[in-house]
């Protein structure tokens, strides 16, 4: 049996999957969790050694479950933007600063000033945001100069795992886009940005297309991860680009909504997207000579997780997601006027405001937990609509909409989202998202399939389609307008630090 492996180095865990190289069907998977640390408010860090341990465990579990067979190639994906600083011996200098870390607002302003706002938009196709990698480099130079002097390489999450696995420093275009150091249209590092920020290009890995072979499992990599020596490792992709491949989102008009911890709306394009200066991202896709736009809300499934944890009636006892879903189903559309703002960790799209905060608005004595539970779901759906609207303004059409992630397992939440965006939403039979995309890219690199389109056609099949409820359109349009009016009114309160 010939297999392909996809490895997703996530924020809370690593997932390794093995798929059948002939059919694309899932053969086995392994998952290993690890912690995230918040040493100061708005900080988020992880020890890259935890990623290595997590990947090693997940890979071994998957290999054991799959049984006999040959792994033809490995694809890598993972959380974007998170920065790993290495010295000249390849040793980690300090904990990785993650994508959800908010410490670099000042450095974003500095980067914009040094590069020039319009030049940054023209080259990197994005504004400087605290989650991106380049501002983290500036922060290190200013706040930890002794560590900065030791820097010899800067990698993002999956590319560090690649280095440990193969001994090769390599990057690929989709993840490199999120470092804010790439000329997105030309798909190469930008000498102009690097010069303005005084970052040596030798600190950065060579850039490949996502299905290209970047190296092979080394002897040391084999010992650490349990993979046979010599297996090819392809470029892979940032988690959203790889997740889009894993959902078949590779052509214009295709859109995917990901309901993980964050909420993402993703749309491919045949040309480099127009830089609008908004908080919509414009990156290279994991499909060669394709690009994509992406809107990101920071707490989608994260809002539901918070709500579940908040409803803790006794020590170590809480409602399940199924319980909350059942409660929400008893509320009418519009939650009887209750509106939830899902800005629990600030917000990226559409406001780019790390100080934005969550809120319930419109509560009365007549409301109960059913209304509040549904309001959480609807608030996230309105945030998804915010992202989709900005992307439409940037020229991204929305024809075929797919939905994935943990939140998409809820029939009710899918129906709410479909009704809010007024489009049917489809699910695939296998929802392995980024890990599946990484495995398919590995198959292209190993020449199992000639290109990414062939891989997705062979491996992916639609499971179901959720139609919107047309009778809910009027109510949701009304509630969305209320939702949109709340942030401008509350923003001064958020910024006051209260």
Determine the Cα–Cα distance for residues 74 and 7; give it in Å rounded to an integer: 8
In the chain, the largest separation of any two C-alpha atoms, in whole Å, equals 66
Q: Are 294 and 441 in contact (CB under 8 A)?
A: no
Contact 406, 384 (CB under 8 A): no
d(CA 89, CA 91): 6
Radius of gyration from C-alpha coordinates of the chain: 22
Q: At what angle do helices 133-143 and 105-115 cross, to 10 degrees?
A: 110
Q: Are 440 and 234 in contact (CB under 8 A)?
A: no
Whether residue 402 contacts residue 248, with contact meaning beta carbons closer than 8 Å, is answered with yes
Report d(CA 177, CA 188) in Å as an integer.
9
Q: Say whether 101 is catalytic.
A: no
Q: Which residue has the tokens 């998202």?
A: 433
| Catalytic residue (one of 50, 101, 183, 239) | 239
Tokens of 325: 């879903």
Partner residues linked to 263 by β-bridges = 259, 297
Question: Are the C-beta atoms of residues 254 and 266 closer than 8 Å to each other?
Answer: no
| Backbone torsions φ then ψ of 442, nearest 5 degrees | -60, -40
* Interacting residues of 334 by C-beta distance below 8 A, sequence separation 6+: 378, 475, 476, 478, 479
- Which residue matches tokens 């409602």? 319
Helix (H) or strand (E) holding 4: strand 2-9
User: Based on the number of CB atoms within 10 Å of its own CB, is 313 exposed (0-12), middle (13-18) or buried (19 or more)?
Assistant: exposed
Structure token digits, residue 15: 């997932």
Q: With b meaning 16 or more CB within 10 Å and e meaning fewer, what string describes 171-195?
A: bbbbbbbbbbbbbbbebebbebbbe
Return the structure tokens found at 10: 């996530």
Catalytic sites, residue numbers = 239
């Amino acid at each position: 049996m010939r297999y392909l492996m996809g490895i997703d180095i996530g924020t809370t865990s690593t997932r390794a999957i093995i798929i059948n190289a002939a059919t694309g069907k899932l053969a086995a998977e392994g998952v290993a969790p690890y912690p995230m640390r918040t040493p100061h408010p708005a900080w988020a860090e992880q020890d890259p050694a935890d990623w290595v341990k997590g990947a090693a465990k997940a890979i071994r579990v998957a290999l054991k479950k799959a049984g006999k067979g040959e792994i033809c190639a490995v694809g890598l994906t993972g959380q974007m933007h998170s920065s790993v600083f290495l010295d000249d011996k390849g040793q980690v200098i300090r904990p990785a600063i993650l994508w959800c870390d908010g410490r670099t607002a000042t450095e974003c302003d500095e980067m914009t000033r040094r590069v020039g706002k319009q030049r940054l938009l023209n080259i990197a196709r994005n504004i400087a945001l605290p989650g991106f990698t380049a501002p983290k480099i500036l922060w290190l130079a200013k706040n930890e100069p002794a560590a900065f002097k030791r820097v010899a390489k800067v990698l993002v999450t999956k590319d560090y795992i690649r280095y440990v696995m193969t001994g090769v420093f390599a990057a690929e275009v989709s993840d490199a886009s999120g470092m804010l150091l790439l000329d997105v249209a030309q798909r190469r590092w930008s000498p102009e940005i690097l010069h303005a920020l005084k970052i040596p290009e030798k600190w950065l890995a060579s850039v490949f297309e996502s299905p290209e072979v970047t190296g092979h499992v080394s002897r040391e990599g084999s010992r650490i991860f349990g993979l046979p020596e010599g297996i090819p490792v392809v470029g892979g992709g940032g988690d959203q680009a790889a997740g889009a491949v894993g959902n078949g989102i590779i052509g214009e008009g295709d859109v995917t909504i990901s309901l993980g911890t964050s909420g993402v709306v993703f749309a491919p394009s045949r040309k480099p997207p127009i830089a609008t200066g908004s908080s919509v991202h414009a990156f290279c896709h994991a499909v060669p000579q394709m690009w994509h736009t992406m809107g990101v809300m920071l707490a989608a499934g994260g809002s539901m997780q918070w709500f579940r944890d908040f409803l803790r009636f006794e020590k170590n006892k809480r409602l399940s997601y199924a319980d909350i879903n059942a409660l929400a189903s008893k509320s009418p559309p519009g939650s009887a006027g209750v509106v939830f703002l899902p800005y629990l960790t600030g917000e990226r799209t559409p406001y780019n405001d790390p100080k934005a905060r969550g809120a319930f608005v419109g509560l009365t004595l007549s409301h109960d937990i059913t209304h509040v539970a549904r309001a959480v779901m609807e608030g996230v759906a309105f945030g998804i609509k915010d992202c989709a609207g900005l992307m439409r303004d940037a020229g991204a059409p929305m024809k075929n909409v797919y939905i994935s992630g943990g939140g998409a397992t809820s029939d009710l939440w899918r129906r709410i989202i479909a009704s809010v965006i007024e489009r049917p939403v489809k699910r695939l039979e296998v929802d392995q998202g980024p890990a599946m995309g990484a495995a398919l890219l590995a198959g292209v690199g190993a020449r199992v399939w000639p290109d990414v389109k062939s891989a997705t056609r062979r491996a992916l099949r639609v499971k179901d389609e959720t139609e919107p409820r047309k009778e809910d359109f009027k109510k949701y349009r009304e509630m969305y307008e209320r939702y949109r009016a709340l942030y401008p009114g509350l923003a001064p309160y958020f910024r006051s630090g209260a």
